[in-house]
Structure 1
Amino acid sequence: MPSAEYLELEIGSDLPVGGGPQEYYGKVVKSPVGEAPKSRLKFWFSAPGVLAKLRGELENAVLEIDDKSHSGLATRGEQVLRDFGRGVFRSVFTEVPSIQNIYQQSKGKSDDFRIKLRIEATELAGLPWEYLFDENDQPGFVSLSRPIVRHLDTVGAVGRMGVKGPLRILGMISDPSTGEWPKLNVAKERERINKGIDALQHAGRVDFQWVPGGSGKDLMKKLLEGDWHVFHFIGHGGVEDEIPGGDADSFNERGFIVMVDEDGKPVKRFASDLATMLTGARKSLRLIVLNCCESARINVGDRFGNPAIGLMKTGWLPAVIAMQFPITDGAAISMSEGFYEALSKNQPIDDAVMLARKFIQQKSRVEWGIPVLYMRSSDGRIFDVENPQPPPDPPEKARFSKEELQRRRDEFMIALAASPRTVAALEELTRSGTELHTLLKDDGELSVRLAKAYFDLGTLQHRQKLIKEAAASFAYMLELDPTKAEYRVRRANFNATMGFHENALTDINEAIKLHPENPEFYWIKGIISMMAAGTDDKGGYLEQAIKAFGVAIARNENEPKYLASRANAYAQSKNVAMALNDMDSAIALAPDNADFAGQKTRIENLAA
């Protein structure tokens, strides 16, 4: 596949002459058709005060989100962003003949050229260049049709890394327990991200796991569990005010994200701190996604202030994606879905970001420009992902008569009816059944029966600790029969025992969607949530467990185990009074259950 071509544009500033307004220049460093010399750029803004006001107006435009206005006439916010993008585009790409010629010739020569911005004028770096608008092109917003990336020169070479199997993504949500920062709904944040990439996870193209907590120690412990390719952080971030008289180049000591300490209190972790935590993953980590407001913000006149640039300046990361304005949950979900879909299919990272923008645009007409891609890679290819290719359809179908296919199908059904009970026998049966299924893909009964065989095989493999084989069998099972709630529950239990609690919760939620009236499914969800909570519940799972047990009780108030389970969840969350109330109700329903009496004693000891 040929590499994409970039128009690399440097935008800088010169010292004003005789106390006049700030002067800016632009020059094409590289393009498909050559270079362009340094030329003066004329913007309608120049003074820092004007720039700061402009950025505030643009941020307000982004935040004026109307969920009902996805089509039709442009919203006020969209119009403000369009006017800004049009004005900047004219100043750079239309009103400077040398740059205009390069841009137009590049469009004519290459169907796949992108824009790489080297913004040396720090007061301009804080503007949202991702909203550049070319009124002579469709769509007008440039970054919806060709990638726009921000380039940073740092030491060290950047190459691509081979990835065999799924792209491994480590997610982390940090939610301080104090009121200094807005409270996050951790459980809902996890569920929303999981929803966005659920199909990729089940297809085996992505392995997304969560750090069980929000502290630096939690992160570093999780990093020890194999090679991670992407780190995805959700939380709060910002930029410290510059210290008067301080070193203007100390960029990595002002941009920060917010983690928590061992007591759940907020602690600012600057770019250099985060880079130190991630050092152990340097051999495999290629990308950091900072889903927190102001992670890509640059205050007007500040130099290298945000955490994204600070991370890039460490010199070993190929790319960082950050947010220059606050982004809504719906837009963040759409971004994750589109971005990881493209990345797992081996697309260049700038193409993946462009697809993410288009996914966001389906939800919001303004938020698609919020993500900023900082990149050092020369071609955007930071991964070589090798996902297993599906086997081609066998050419044998034409050689089998209808009668022969029916005979083979009958033989398979007879073999299934014999109920084989060993791994070897079931492996042979599912192999032959899968071959037959490729010839009879529209045979619904065959799909259902083969799915049950994979269910039995996966169950046996799990018991014999053949974990990878069991995971594959359960994946085939759901591919063949995705609407059977029992299968979702079975894989949820498998994932829970393996410690993959987020995957387990995703499956049990799917089972609940299929049969929302079934109280047992809510009880299982509560049990998995309690397993995920561990001893300190840094992820907010106990609240999720209590809610799930509550739904189970509402659907069947005469089942004592539901009450006993919620009692244990209350006890683990230190609500002893509610725990004892539920345990007394469970004992009233099952007075002969000695285990319930023992659990009540343990809860009473918590209050002593």
Structure 2
Amino acid sequence: MSGEADGYRISVTSPSGEDTLVAAIDAHGLLDRLPSLEAAVLGSAARSRGIGTGMELPAMEVGGTLFESVFQSGIKALYLSSRQKAQEHGRRLRMVLRVRSPELAALPWELLYDEKLGGYLCLHHPVIRHVEMLEPVAPLRVEPPLRILGMVCLPGALTPLEAETEKEGLTTALKPLIYEGRVRLDWVTGGTKQDLFNALFAGCHIFHFIGHGKFDDQRRQGMLVFSDEQGRESPLHAEALGSLISVADPSPRLVVLNSCETGTSHARDLFSSTAAKLEYTVPAVVAMQFAVTDKAAVLFSRAFYQALAANRPVDEAVRTGRIALRADKDDSLECFTPVLYQRSGDARLFDFTSLRKPTPPKTVVEQINGEELDAQTERHGQEADARVPETGQRAEPAHVPPPLSTASTELTPRPEIDTGHWVVSLAVQPSGRLIATGSRKLVRVWDVITGQPMWQRRLGGWSTMVNAIAFSPDGDSLAIGSTDNLARVWTMTGEAAPLKFSHGHFVNTVAYHRSGLLLATGSADATACVWDLGTGSRLLSLQHGRAVKALVFSPDGRRLLTGSEDEKAYVWDTGTGQQQAQIEHGDFVLGVAYSPDGRKVATCSQDHTAQVSDAETWAPLFRVEHQGGLRAVAFSPDSSMLATGSEDGAVRVWRADSGQSLLALTYSRSVNAVAFSPDGRFLVGAGEDKVIHIVRLPEADR
């Protein structure tokens, strides 16, 4: 959200698509109503912990005005569609606010309200205030125990605060993790700035402040109130507080400020609140935008840390704290007081489990590699059967050499192609000259040298997403799968209407058989199907427990590898439709790949891992891991390398025989697709940053 001459530009990106509008928001009029709104919040509760702090109707009015101003026509449709998608996947939608206008940042967006949608949105899903900065957030791998540093600060001139009660509640909530050695809770021994300085030298992962805060209107900056040596008030402004916290090593990834007005912004300074200023130092801050009562502070802290201890993301932990406040006193408005500021892309700041299956002994990998050359030599010159075996015919394991590439080794593609849209799916033409992308409503084919679109088709529907895309083996046809429940196949050399194949739900994945005569499709209706492109008839229908997210034929065409939201990948005999093997993960399986030599398969999952398995025994050979869920996996044409792409923006290249890391790249947004060029010299990746990245591989010319 940013200011324009005629209003405020609202740009939305979502799982269901993108949209932009200019909204007329009376920001200053809403800001004038904040004092009466804070009075309503306090009036709905009890004694406040605010310093000199000055019923539901004011909150509903402000929240309703904010909702109606932003959630107009297309944006509201995207919100409803995205919420439905999240529910279908068993997940909760996250609403991330990137507010670039200071006056809008000062508004209480946590109050967004629509009666027909169930009331306050923040009680249904997390609302996060994303702070955009140039400094990237380096991932912090936390070795147990997770260290929490608490501080209670009560200057004598202020009203008493039930700090000991809150301190006890925090300790009780964390007691199971403390006993297990996974969490350590330490307390600053005094209430002065020097006491905090001394304690921070030991380092911490979370800093939790219990005390008082206020806003300095003259300096337009939030501050916390510490004690001096005589027990009097000694305020510290947010900028200086950030510098003080930065002395910690390790530095905290989360700061919790259970003090009033620490989430309050000035309408002329985007970073004026205590919480936003601290974003220069820590990735996530939980603060309070209004004065908060003692009881509410205790209830919120207990529920918040219980959720974190249950391995929930910080945004969901904040929502859990809101629910606890609402449940305790359902006519209280204090559940809207907490605010989450975050600049880290992943809301799961800490992983309390991180349990992964061990890598199998190296001797297994060495044995497979030792057999590979003999197997290729034995089959060299033999013509692989391109037909699907007849029913009842056994599909013998095949290890076929990679097909000869028709790609020109003289091609030098552009390093980046700006598509202007989220790239949801991507495919490289066998010649290497063209790249196809799928986005919201758009299918486009790009020239890798000029970076210009050479061919495109636009789909109907407001938010139809092109979930999958694939070139035929000869490069003349293009298949897609989309959220209008259809798979389409175009012949790119003509203007004929596409062939269409229908499913009962979104089509998430498509793949050609090596003959180019068959197409496999996978859908959210929990089926994978194989179609005859000549007759349009369905040859196979393979039932899964949940949505099918990825599939690929084996190089000889006798098997089909599928990945599902039921946390498994499956191997199917394409002649009989019989299941031959399962590969298990800890979350949705979102990508699958067969090595071109037919010896290995790779699967990747939302559980942050990719696994390479033997294509005869289906035994795991090794796993590799990212910091976020994996969206894509691909083998190089010579089967020697494996590429993975993650929702945390990371792209990695690994040795396909051992899992040794060869290359690490980081992009600004989630990576949805990765692929090698047909000659193996370049790696292609794309996703939510809207750019096709083409990177020369360091060892590609060996």
TM range (shorter): 0.5 to 0.7
Measure how far apart 1:330 and its partner are. 1.9
Which of 359, 381, 384 matches 2:351? 384
Distance 1:136 1:270, change over 3 A: same
Task: Specify the alignment match of 1:321 in structure 2.
Answer: 286
Task: Specify the alignment match of 1:117 in structure 2.
Answer: 97
Which of 96, 105, 108 matches 2:84? 108
Measure how far apart 1:36 and its partner are. 1.2
Which of 243, 255, 261 matches 2:228? 261
Distance 1:186 1:357 in 2: 20
Between 188-197 and 110-119, the greater mean CA deviation after superposition: 188-197
Structure 2 stretches of 5 or more lacking a match?
47-54, 357-702
Verify: 1:275 aligned to 2:242, yes or no: yes
Q: Secondary structure at the match of 2:328?
A: coil
Q: Tell me which stretches of 4 or more aligned residues in structure 1 moved more than 6 Å.
A: none
Q: Secondary structure at the match of 2:352?
A: strand
Task: Specify the alignment match of 1:130 in structure 2.
Answer: 110
Q: Which runs of structure 2 are paired with 1:389-538 in the superposition (5 Å)?
A: none
Distance 1:378 1:200, change over 3 A: same
Distance 2:272 2:251 in 1: 26
Measure how far apart 1:296 and its partner are. 0.4
Task: Specify the alignment match of 1:65 in structure 2.
Answer: 44
Which of 208, 214, 219 matches 1:238? 214
Task: Specify the alignment match of 1:24 in structure 2.
Answer: 8
Residues 34 and 102 in structure 1, CA contact (< 8 A), matched pair in contact too: yes
Q: Secondary structure at the match of 2:38?
A: helix
Q: Which runs of structure 2 are paired with 1:327-406 in the superposition (5 Å)?
A: 327-365=292-330, 366-386=333-353
Residues 31 and 107 in structure 2, CA contact (< 8 A), matched pair in contact too: no
Distance 1:182 1:92, change over 3 A: same
Task: Specify the alignment match of 1:306 in structure 2.
Answer: 273
User: May I ask how many residue pairs the two structures share in their alignment?
Assistant: 342
Measure how far apart 1:114 and its partner are. 1.1
Distance 1:115 1:216, change over 3 A: same
Distance 1:90 1:185 in 2: 39
Distance 2:275 2:128 in 1: 13
Q: Secondary structure at the match of 1:239?
A: strand
Measure how far apart 1:115 and its partner are. 0.7
Residues 339 and 353 in structure 1, CA contact (< 8 A), matched pair in contact too: yes
Which of 126, 129, 147 matches 1:150? 129
Distance 1:133 1:169, change over 3 A: same
Which of 24, 27, 41 matches 1:42? 24
Task: Specify the alignment match of 1:162 in structure 2.
Answer: 141
Percent identity among equivalent residues?
37
Q: Which runs of structure 2 are paired with 1:50-61 in the superposition (5 Å)?
A: 50-61=29-40
**Higher relative contact order (Cα pairs below 8 Å, separated by 6+ residues):** 1
Q: Deviations over 1:136-174 (max 9, x none)?
A: 223x21111111000111122225433333432111111
Task: Specify the alignment match of 1:14 in structure 2.
Answer: 4
Give 2:255's aligned amino acid.
I
Residues 24 and 42 in structure 1, CA contact (< 8 A), matched pair in contact too: yes
Which of 58, 64, 84 matches 2:62? 84
Distance 2:209 2:161 in 1: 13
Task: Specify the alignment match of 1:532 in structure 2.
Answer: none
Residues 163 and 210 in structure 2, CA contact (< 8 A), matched pair in contact too: no
Between 288-297 and 103-112, the greater mean CA deviation after superposition: 103-112
TM-score (norm 1): 0.52
Measure how far apart 1:212 and its partner are. 0.8
Measure how far apart 1:134 and its partner are. 2.8
Q: Secondary structure at the match of 1:228?
A: coil
Alignment RMSD: 2.5
Measure how far apart 1:255 and its partner are. 2.1
Measure how far apart 1:234 and its partner are. 1.4
Measure how far apart 1:119 and its partner are. 1.7
TM-score (norm 2): 0.46
Task: Specify the alignment match of 1:213 in structure 2.
Answer: 190
Distance 1:113 1:107, change over 3 A: same
Distance 1:151 1:117 in 2: 6
Distance 1:348 1:166 in 2: 18
Measure how far apart 1:55 and its partner are. 0.9
Which of 128, 144, 150 matches 1:171? 150
Distance 1:154 1:355 in 2: 28
Residues 64 and 113 in structure 2, CA contact (< 8 A), matched pair in contact too: yes
Task: Specify the alignment match of 1:190 in structure 2.
Answer: 167
Distance 1:300 1:156, change over 3 A: closer
Structure 1 stretches of 5 or more lacking a match?
1-10, 17-22, 68-76, 244-250, 390-608
Distance 1:299 1:274 in 2: 18
Distance 1:374 1:66 in 2: 24
Structure with the largest fraction of strand: 2
Give 1:161's aligned amino acid.
L
